[in-house]
């Protein structure tokens, strides 16, 4: 089922949660709505489900407008962050609940429900736990029960609201990979709401980055990470070093390293620029080999598993800079606190922005 969000605006009182949002989701896609708390992603999900109505705009499912339809008319499966399982019902009874409460004319036979529950519990790898109660399950197992319950009514659209947010990091990682495999098997159009960048990058076909009720960028995981459209997207998707400066008016090759000398970024005249460099995109050397390098001093060394994080400070201004190295590269350089090193970006992205000093 395809989804069309057409110029949707939603207000709560005087606060605008969503402002003129438009989005097209193709049938069978898994799309992640990514952004900080309060950006409007859950509100958009609730509008898609029929739990909220937009103040302006419309929603179309497979070409048919459903803006005024209730959730019961949209064939939507909803999975919440905190499972929302019935504690007094067994796993099997929780999964069967949505089928048993259908109107009598639409309710399947008991044999169909029983077979459907067994099929879904096998799909989510919980068939052996059919008679257990939610209190006897781990957090990850409860979330899989919640997903099976959502799938029981054979939804045309699956909506997941921070489904792994209450789980620890290891279980969350296992479940999101499991969800991706499940989606590839079922091909149900799915919308995943998350504030976890890694979760979105690993799980989704496309990512919609939201900020303060607006869409900042829509693209594949590689597109939004490698080619952020705005400074907000760059900052939100992972660690980043930020350099401010003025660039000559004639310099326009923002995607090129040529002309971007971090050591001489305070230039008179021109437009204000902000350069973004990921910590793993900074190259270190013990000696200066080019005037484009920036002289820094090692202030802190943090061993973090397979990588090493360095905190550097620039010699001239004392700006803090983070660098990420492989263990092998760190051992090769033999760096210690207080060492002087020279850095140069392998890759950076520059945005021209209004001059903060302008009136």
Which residue has better confidence, 250 or 180? Answer: 180
Q: Which of 95, 160, 178 is nearest to 132 (CA)?
A: 95
User: Are 190 and 33 within 8 A, CB to CB?
Assistant: no
Q: Which of 313, 324, 335, 224 is nearest to 282 (CA)?
A: 324
Domains of the chain: 3-235 (3.40.50.300), 254-263+276-352 (2.40.50.140)
8-49 pLDDT, tens digit per residue, is 999 999 999 999 999 999 999 999 999 999 999 999 999 999
Supply the pLDDT for residue 82.
75
State percent of the chain over pLDDT 90. 64
Q: By three-state DSSP, how is residue 353 classified?
A: coil
Tell me: pLDDT of 265 over 60. no
Which residue has better confidence, 56 or 156? Answer: 56
Supply the pLDDT for residue 108.
93
pLDDT interval class at 250 (50, 70, 90):
very low
Tell me: pLDDT of 351 over 90. no
| Mean of per-residue pLDDT scores for the chain | 88
Gap between the Cα atoms of 182 and 191, Å rounded: 14
pLDDT interval class at 246 (50, 70, 90):
low
Supply the pLDDT for residue 312.
96
Supply the pLDDT for residue 269.
41
77-116 pLDDT, tens digit per residue, is 888 877 789 999 999 999 999 999 988 898 999 999 999 9
Q: Which of 40, 12, 350 is nearest to 208 (CA)?
A: 40
Directed axis angle between helix 91-100 and helix 139-152, to 10°? Answer: 20
Supply the pLDDT for residue 315.
84
Tell me: pLDDT of 357 over 60. no
276-322 pLDDT, tens digit per residue, is 999 999 999 999 988 878 899 999 999 988 899 999 998 888 889 99
Question: CB under 8 Å to 94, separation ≥6 — which residues?
Answer: 85, 86, 134, 145, 149
Tell me: pLDDT of 270 over 80. no
Place of tokens 């319950």: 149
Tell me: pLDDT of 272 over 80. no
Supply the pLDDT for residue 271.
57
Supply the pLDDT for residue 355.
58
165-214 pLDDT, tens digit per residue, is 767 888 888 888 888 988 998 899 999 999 999 999 999 999 999 999 99
User: Are 351 and 254 within 8 A, CB to CB?
Assistant: yes
Question: What DSSP assignment string belongs to 261-277?
Answer: -GGG-B-SSSEEEEEEE
Supply the pLDDT for residue 257.
39
Of the listed ranges 131-135, 168-172, 336-340, the least confidently predicted one is 168-172
Supply the pLDDT for residue 350.
86
Tell me: pLDDT of 217 over 80. yes
Gap between the Cα atoms of 230 and 220, Å rounded: 15
- Residue range 242-267: mean pLDDT, rounded: 50
Q: What predicted TM-score, i.e. pTM, was given to this entire model?
A: 0.85
Where are any strands of DSSP class E within the chain?
A: 3-12, 15-25, 30-34, 56-61, 64-65, 76-79, 157-161, 189-194, 206-211, 214-219, 241-247, 271-277, 282-285, 294-304, 307-314, 320-326, 340-345, 349-352
- Residue range 247-255: mean pLDDT, rounded: 42
Gap between the Cα atoms of 322 and 280, Å rounded: 9
């Amino acid at each position: 089922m395809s989804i069309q969000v057409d110029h949707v605006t939603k207000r709560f009182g005087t606060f605008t949660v969503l402002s003129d949002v438009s989005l097209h989701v193709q049938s069978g896609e898994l799309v992640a709505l990514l952004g900080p708390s309060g950006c409007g992603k859950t509100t958009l999900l609730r509008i898609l489900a029929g739990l909220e109505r937009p103040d302006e705009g419309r929603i179309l499912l497979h070409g048919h407008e459903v803006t005024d339809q209730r959730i019961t008319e949209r064939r939507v499966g909803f999975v919440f962050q905190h499972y929302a399982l019935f504690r007094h019902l067994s796993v099997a009874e929780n999964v069967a609940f949505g089928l048993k409460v259908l109107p009598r004319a639409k309710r399947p036979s008991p044999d169909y429900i029983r077979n459907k529950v067994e099929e879904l519990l096998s799909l989510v790898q919980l068939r052996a736990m059919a008679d257990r109660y939610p209190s006897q399950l781990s957090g990850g197992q409860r979330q899989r029960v919640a997903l099976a319950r959502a799938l029981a009514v054979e939804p045309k659209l699956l909506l997941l609201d921070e489904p792994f947010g209450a789980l620890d990091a290891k279980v969350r990682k296992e479940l999101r990979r499991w969800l991706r495999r499940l989606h590839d098997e079922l091909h149900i159009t799915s919308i995943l709401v998350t504030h976890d960048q890694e979760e979105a990058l690993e799980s989704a076909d496309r990512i919609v980055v939201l900020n303060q009720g607006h869409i900042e960028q829509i693209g594949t995981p590689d597109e939004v990470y490698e080619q952020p459209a705005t400074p907000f997207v760059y900052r939100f998707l992972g660690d980043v070093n930020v350099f401010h400066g003025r660039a000559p008016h004639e310099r326009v090759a923002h995607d090129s390293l040529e002309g971007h000398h971090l050591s001489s970024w305070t230039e008179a005249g021109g437009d204000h620029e902000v350069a973004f460099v990921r910590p793993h995109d900074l190259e270190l050397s013990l000696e200066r080999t080019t005037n484009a390098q920036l002289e820094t001093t090692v202030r802190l060394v943090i061993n973090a598993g397979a990588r090493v994080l360095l905190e550097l400070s620039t010699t001239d201004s004392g700006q803090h800079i983070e660098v990420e190295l492989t263990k092998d590269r760190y051992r090769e350089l033999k760096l210690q606190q207080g060492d002087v090193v020279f850095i140069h970006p392998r890759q950076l992205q520059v945005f021209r922005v209004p001059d903060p000093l302008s009136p």
